[in-house]
């Protein structure tokens, strides 16, 4: 029979083991968005905390993905980026593709891709080990998140409601990001907090 002190020690050890295997907490709508720091295409570090007091959009991207191609080849994504950054929103495109996998670019190749797609985020950030992608449970490209000025995650989901690679579907779609940001910037209740993201799977290392 284990004495009470021994039982407490065992329970503590088991909790510690559980914590190790559980890993870091995953982002949840309605809770504080997990902090992170990633480098941009020029090697400059950007931390989420740098943008406290601003709305922040996180866009998971992979230029090799046809679903991403739909929104960039049509100009839809860049239009959203320009529209909302002009209103003071911070827009961070994040690539969690691992080296050697679809969507991974570095150095001059990355700069050329950003120019080729005419991307217009505040910054394009690289997450080659997938740490931040997994912290936010980013599943697809694109997968979109919105963080409010208090640092709370207020939206997690898709860019719109038509899961296709067809450019002609864009005008027909309900653009969730536009609806959420327009409501947020107007001080109105958000029309939705979650939706199903669609696209290519994020090309994590494992």
Task: Report the predicted TM-score, pTM, of the whole model to 2 decimal places.
Answer: 0.88
Structural domains present in the chain: 26-201 (3.40.30.10)
pLDDT digits (tens, 9 = 90+) for 71-116: 999 999 999 999 999 999 999 999 999 999 999 999 999 999 999 9
pLDDT digits (tens, 9 = 90+) for 159-200: 999 999 999 999 999 999 999 999 999 999 999 999 999 999
Contacts 24+ apart (CB under 8 A), 85-90: 85/120, 85/121, 85/122, 87/185, 88/54, 88/55, 89/54, 89/55, 89/56, 89/57, 89/181, 89/185, 90/51, 90/54, 90/55, 90/56, 90/57, 90/122
């Amino acid at each position: 029979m284990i004495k009470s002190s021994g039982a407490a020690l065992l329970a503590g050890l088991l909790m510690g083991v559980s914590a190790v295997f559980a890993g870091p907490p995953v982002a949840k709508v309605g809770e504080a968005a997990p902090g992170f720091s990633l480098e941009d295409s020029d090697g400059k570090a950007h931390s989420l905390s740098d943008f406290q007091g601003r709305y922040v959009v996180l866009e998971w991207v992979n230029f090799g993905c046809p679903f991403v191609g739909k929104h960039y080849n049509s100009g839809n994504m860049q239009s959203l980026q320009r529209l909302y950054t002009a209103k003071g929103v911070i827009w961070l495109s994040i690539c969690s593709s691992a080296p050697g996998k679809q969507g991974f670019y570095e150095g001059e190749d990355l700069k050329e891709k950003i120019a080729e797609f005419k991307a217009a985020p505040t910054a394009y950030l690289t997450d080659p080990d997938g740490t931040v992608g997994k912290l936010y449970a980013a599943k697809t490209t694109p997968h979109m998140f919105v963080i409010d000025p208090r640092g709370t995650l207020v939206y997690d989901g898709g860019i719109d409601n038509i899961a296709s690679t067809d450019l002609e579907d864009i005008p027909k779609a309900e653009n969730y990001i536009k609806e959420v940001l327009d409501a947020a910037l107007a001080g109105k209740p958000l029309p939705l907090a979650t939706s199903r993201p669609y696209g290519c799977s994020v090309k994590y290392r494992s």
